[in-house]
Structures are given as C-alpha cells and as structure tokens.
Amino acid sequence: MTISTAPTGTARIARAFARARAERRLALVVYLTVGYPDKAATGGLLRAALDGGADVLELGVPFSDPLADGATVQRASEIALRQRVSLTDCLAEATTIVRERDAAVLLMGYANPFLSYRGGLSGFASDAARAGVAGIIVPDLPSEESAEFDAALDPEGLARIDLYAPTTPDDRLARLVPAARGFVYCVSLAGVTGARRALGADVATFVARVRRHTALPIAVGFGISTAEHVGSLRGVADAVVVGSAALDAVSGAPADGRPEALRAFVSTLAAAGKS
Amino acid sequence: MITTAKPGRYGEFGGQYLPETLMPAVAELEAAWLDARADTDFQNELARVLHDWVGRPTPLTDAPRLARAVGLARVLLKREDLAHTGAHKINSAVGQALLAKRMGKHRVVAETGAGQHGVASAAACALLGLECVVYMGTVDARRQHANVFRMKLLGAEVREVDAGSRTLKDAVNEAIRDWVTNVRTTYYLLGSAIGPHPYPAMVRDFQAVIGREAREQALALLGGLPDVVVACVGGGSNAIGIFSAFLDDPSVKIVGVEAGGEGIASGKHAASIVGGSVGVLHGSRTLVLQDDQGQIRETHSVSAGLDYPGVGPEHAALARSGRVRYVARTDREALDAFALLSRSEGIIPALEPAHAIAELPAIAKDDPSQTVLLCLSGRGDKDLEIVMGEGLVR
C-alpha cells in the first residue's frame, strides 16, 4: 500500500457527481470500448469525451461473448479483440487518463476476464487501485455471485457498481440498493445495450422506485442516444450513461475526424443535461 | 448426486452469472419448475406426452456384432435415436414447453447447434401451440440445412447468428439477448445441461428419464447392473440424463466422451473438461475453453452438437470428484465409429454418440469381459452430407 495525497478513484467519482449536482445539471458518463476502432485511438477518444463534457469515463473491457450488449458494443469488442486488447491494456489506458486529466474512471466488462487476470481478483484490484480506477461494472455479475469480487475490491477501496433493472422487484431493491456504493446504475429498459429511438416508457417510475432506497446519485443507462433523451431525464435521474451512441459517433466519422466528432456529440448531450 | 451447499452449486461450479434483468426470471422459473415437479397432474401430462407422442420408453438394444468388433463381452444401446425427432433433445424440450405453457409464456426462444434441439423445440411448440424462435449460427445452419428446413416446416422462425464463431455459443448469446429483451413474455428453452441455475438441474431432471428406463431395462436383461456406462458430452444433457441413474452405484464405471476434434494437442477441439480450465460462460462457472486473458476460444468438432466451449457445471464437478472419467475422441475416430455401428448393427448413429462408440475399444482394452451401456443419443440422418466426403463408403 502506498501513502499518497492523490484522491482515490472513489473520491474522484464522488467529486464528479457533486460538481454536477452543484451546477444543477445531469452528470454525464461516457462508455468507450478500449481498442475501438484501434488501440492507438483510445487515448485520444477518452480525452475528446472529457473535452466534450464527460464527468465519468467507463472503459469497456472487450469480451468474446458480451451477452448483455447489442450489436454496436459486440462489434467494437470483436474489433478490439482482433488486436488482442487485454484487461492489462485497459488498466494502462486508465493510468494514462487519470494521470493526465485527474479523470473519474470505471472499468466495465464481463466476469471472466476479471477472474482470469494474472494475480487473480486481488491482483487486479491492487493494480486497478494503483491505476486510479474508481470501480468496476460487471453486467453478468448479480449480487448473488459478487462475494469474491467484493472481498478483493473492498480492501483497495474500489466500488462494484451494481445494475438494477425495471424487472427488479421492490423487495429485491430494498435488500440490495442500500448496500450500493458510489452511485446506483439503473438500466432504462429490459434489454441489451444499444442506441434506440425512444426510451422505455416506465423509466421515471422505475427511478422513483429505486430512489426510495438510497441517497446516492442515480445514473440511467442503456439506450440513451440523443440530446432529447438526456433532456427528458432531467429531474428524473442524476446522471446518464451513453455508450453505443458514442461508439456510433466515432464509427460514423472519417478516421482523422473521430475525436472531434465524439467531442461534438458529447458536448450536445452535456448541453442537454444543463438546460 | 453431488450435494450442493446452495441450490445450483456443484462444488465450486454452477451459479447464476446473469444480467440483473434476468434474475427475477430465473427465480420465477425455479419456483415454477419446483411447483410443476411436485404436481402429479403435470407429471402425468408429461408422462402421457412422452409415451404417446415422443414414443417412450425407447428400447435397449443388445448389439452383439458391435461388441464383437470392439472386443467387448456385451454392448447395450439405449436407443434415444428412436425417440420422436430423432434424438434425446425432445425429452427436455417437451418438458420445458409444458412448463412454459403452465407459466403463461406464449413465446419460446431456443438455441441450436446441430439443429436437434431446435427441431425438438419447434416440434414441442407446434404440439402445444406456442410461438417458437430458434437461434442458430450461420456455420451450423449451413452444415445442417435440412434441420433448418425441418424447423421452418414445424412452424418455427429460424434466426441465423452471424457473430463470433457463428456456432452454438453465439446462438446461446443471441438467445439470451432475446430473453433479456422479451423476458416478460418469453420462455428460454435451453437445450443442454448448461447455463444458470436452475437450467442444469432442470434439464437433468427432464433427461433423467433416459437413465431411469435404461437402468430398469438393464436390470431386466442382465439381472444386474452394467459394468460401464458411456455417453458423449458436449454441454452434457444426454450424458447427465443417463449418468444420473448410476452415480450412486459404486460398481458402475462412468465415462463421458468429449469431442477431440483434430486432437487435443492441435488446439482444434471442443473438449472443455479434458482441455479446459475454470471460467464463467453463459451464466455458469464451469470448465471452459479460453485463452490466458479469459476470452472464450473458438472450438472445432465434426459434430455441430458437441461444438461448444463449455460444459454443464455438474459434469465439471463430477470430473473434479473423479466419479466420472472424461476422455476425448477425435473427428476421425468418431467417423470410423459412425461407419462401424452402421455396418455392424444396421443403425446409423448421429456424429455426437459416434464419439462414445469410439471409446469402446479403449474400454475393451481395460477389460474385455465388461458389459457396457451406451447412450445412443441420436440418429445420423442429419449428418449424411457431412460424412459423404469422408471416404466411409468404398
């Protein structure tokens, strides 16, 4: 363990949400698959997302079988894996962006690559803490299976951000949400990730059900693709998560214009979270 | 039976590694399954359909010419190839379709590799008037196109999956994505003893009919138990079905045969127990084929039904405890066994159980006086085009 005056990853997350709250706007969480469209581009894209107004970065760890993801993230993961992007590469990207920008960074990925990390989960946790990562989001790890992850993450001060879904019943929310750390991630609809034309009709009701059990900030993700979607969540949630739509903004731009296209896209969402 | 500390756990294996959206669905499924299991009306209805429509009990066939050819005293074949739709898959498909209907789910999704589970699901859904969508990798749909036609004829919609390795594992991914999206109305009819709890236990329960019948038939025929029980293992549903009746008989040796592809050393195989390591795939912690980064590897087998990079968690536990011995046989050995059974007994097996037949000479070498019970999990009509180019006919 090292003694350091630098804020922990968790403190960076708390700071990012507090800043958004003080400015009376939605915090913006941007997801990007590490290694998409290529390994060398990731750093520039992460900077562009921050320049556009992202408060928190989610670094997507590619996996061969992303069963909670729609076509966009699946394709991004396949392309990243063709370049053999590993969890170690993701930690290296996190280290760089945290050093350079003091950014709040989470890793999002499936259980198996974390379990396969050399040094195991505790080795991962200590490397992630050293990289300045705040925590991890694991879409195929429900609370029932999370004990060994928590045992490794807790001593390093890393948070495991749980996902809750509109299908999660009230008694389950009452049991699990109070134990949440950092923020609470609500999945906007029953489904996989991916840009959509309309948000689920019951998002507001769902967020209200969750809020009864926590004072932590609530983020809504899955399907959020446009400034309109973001605007419609003002007064409902505290933060929005944008992933597939950000990747679409990247893939829709010519190779030399990708960071600028992403920055511009993120800034329209950031603006929609303000007014 | 492996005793579990908590339901759905087989030692260190099993569990429910699933998106939160599906957690209420698997809880609902477990409750519905346990309820149906204890309900005599449901069990009577299942027994009636298995008898009248599936054609159970399937026979146990003495195979003396095969036994002589491989050097064994006696080989008994449990004839799942004679079940309706040509494989054991129908046992679980019809059981789960009845359960779906009981749960008020009118839409069923399923995955398929060789197409046998897809055909069985399509047939069961047609019988019960349920909507059926089957996901199938484009590679599998090409090599098993007659089964694609069968499924469509039975009224199912076949959605081809052009992602990843374009085989069974990717079909499972896509079926789970559909389930996440339509969870309120849709039942996921998983075909193998894999996936999150309660699937491995439930599929075993529905397939245990194979073992119950075979045990009774063997006792009647032999006046005792067989010395060895052998079955092929992909995900492991036919194997767990027949093994389940003999796990508590210490005198019975049990052998599971995985797909060795071009040989374990080549890396081109689908033997998750013989050549794999502990990992999480499709909702379960089990033995999987993966690289050192935890990415699931592409598999290879001449048999689409065994071409899967994981195995049911109970098999992983049975391997770990040593109760069942798991081995692998190559494509070539399976093809030779395919021809051997055809010529010696007038039975064309599916390529999947041909792997089990290919293990018989090794069992004979161990002790030629043994009586072996083999699960002939399906018939080979679906595989004729694949084997035509393999020089089996002079």
Predicted-complex ipTM score: 0.95
Q: Provide, rounded to the nearest whole percent, the portion of chain B with pLDDT above 90.
A: 93
- Picking from B293, B296, B297, B308 by the largest number of A CB atoms within 10 A of its own CB, the best residue to mutate is B293
Cβ B173–A187 below 8 Å, yes or no? no
The pLDDT of residue B313 is above 70: yes
Q: Which of B17, B21, B173 sits opposite A167 (nearest CB)?
A: B21
Is the domain spanning A8-162+229-272 CATH 2.70.170.10? The answer is no
The pLDDT of residue B349 is above 90: yes
Q: Could you tell me the end-to-end alpha-carbon distance of chain A, in angstroms, rounded to an integer?
A: 43
Catalytic residue among B89, B105, B253, B382: B89
pLDDT digits (tens, 9 = 90+) for A72-122: 999 999 999 999 999 999 999 999 999 999 999 999 999 999 999 999 999
> What is the arithmetic mean of pLDDT over B343-357?
98
Question: Distance (Å, rounded) from C-alpha B40 to C-alpha A26?
Answer: 56
The pLDDT of residue B3 is above 60: no
Decide: B92 and B98 in contact? Cβ < 8 Å. no
Q: Which of A65, A87, A111 sits opposite B173 (nearest CB)?
A: A65
Q: Where in chain A are the domains?
A: 8-162+229-272
> What is the arithmetic mean of pLDDT over B52-78?
98
Q: What's residue A1's pLDDT?
A: 46
Residue of A nearest to B277 (CA): A116
Q: Which of residues 3-62 of A touch B (CB under 8 A)?
A: none
The pLDDT of residue B190 is above 60: yes
User: A103 CA to chain B: closest CA distance, Å?
Assistant: 26
Catalytic residue among B30, B80, B111, B174: B111
Cβ A70–B177 below 8 Å, yes or no? yes
Residue A76 contacts B, CB cutoff 8 Å = no
Residue of B nearest to A84 (CA): B293
Q: What's residue B107's pLDDT?
A: 98
Per-residue pLDDT band at A2 (split at 50, 70, 90) = very low
Question: Distance (Å, rounded) from C-alpha A265 to C-alpha A246?
Answer: 7
Per-residue pLDDT band at A6 (split at 50, 70, 90) = low
Which residues of chain A are within 8 Å of residue B169 when distances are taken between CB atoms? 65
Q: Which of B164, B172, B177 sits opposite A192 (nearest CB)?
A: B177
pLDDT digits (tens, 9 = 90+) for A22-42: 999 999 999 999 999 999 999
User: A182 CA to chain B: closest CA distance, Å?
Assistant: 18
Per-residue pLDDT band at B72 (split at 50, 70, 90) = very high
Question: Distance (Å, rounded) from C-alpha B180 to C-alpha A68?
Answer: 8
Q: What's residue A200's pLDDT?
A: 82
Residue A146 contacts B, CB cutoff 8 Å = no
pLDDT digits (tens, 9 = 90+) for B198-208: 999 999 999 99
Q: How far is C-alpha B272 from the geometric centre of its chain's CA atoms?
A: 14
pLDDT digits (tens, 9 = 90+) for A56-85: 999 999 999 999 999 999 999 999 999 999
The pLDDT of residue A195 is above 90: no
pLDDT digits (tens, 9 = 90+) for B90-134: 999 999 999 999 999 999 999 998 899 999 999 999 999 999 999
Among A10-19, B42-51, B62-71, whose mean pLDDT is lowest? A10-19
> What is the arithmetic mean of pLDDT over B141-169?
94
Per-residue pLDDT band at B5 (split at 50, 70, 90) = low
Cβ B280–A163 below 8 Å, yes or no? no
Residue of A nearest to B165 (CA): A64
Cβ A112–B15 below 8 Å, yes or no? no
Cβ B164–A65 below 8 Å, yes or no? yes
DSSP state of B53: I
Residue A67 contacts B, CB cutoff 8 Å = yes
Per-residue pLDDT band at A157 (split at 50, 70, 90) = very high
Q: What's residue A9's pLDDT?
A: 79
The pLDDT of residue B2 is above 50: no
Q: Which residues of B217-238 are buried (b: 16+ CB within 10 A; e: fewer)?
A: bbeeebeebbbbbbbbbbbbbb
Per-residue pLDDT band at A212 (split at 50, 70, 90) = very high
Which residues of chain B are within 8 Å of residue A67 when distances are taken between CB atoms? 19, 172-173, 176-177, 180, 282
Helix segments in chain A, DSSP class H: 9-22, 42-52, 71-82, 87-101, 111-115, 120-131, 147-153, 170-176, 203-211, 227-232, 244-251, 258-272
Q: Provide, rounded to the nearest whole percent, the portion of chain B with pLDDT above 70.
A: 99
Q: What's residue B394's pLDDT?
A: 75
pLDDT digits (tens, 9 = 90+) for B236-286: 999 999 999 999 999 999 999 999 999 999 999 999 999 999 999 999 999
Q: What's residue B4's pLDDT?
A: 47
The pLDDT of residue A3 is above 90: no
> What is the arithmetic mean of pLDDT over A121-146?
96
At residue B122, the 3 state secondary structure works out as helix
Query: Which has the closest alpha carbon to B112: B144, B134, B90, B145?
Result: B134
The beta-carbon contacts of B272-277 under 8 Å, at least 24 apart in sequence, are: B272/B308, B272/B309, B272/B310, B272/B311, B273/B233, B273/B311, B273/B315, B273/B316, B273/B319, B273/B326, B274/B326, B274/B327, B274/B328, B275/B328, B276/B309, B276/B310, B276/B311
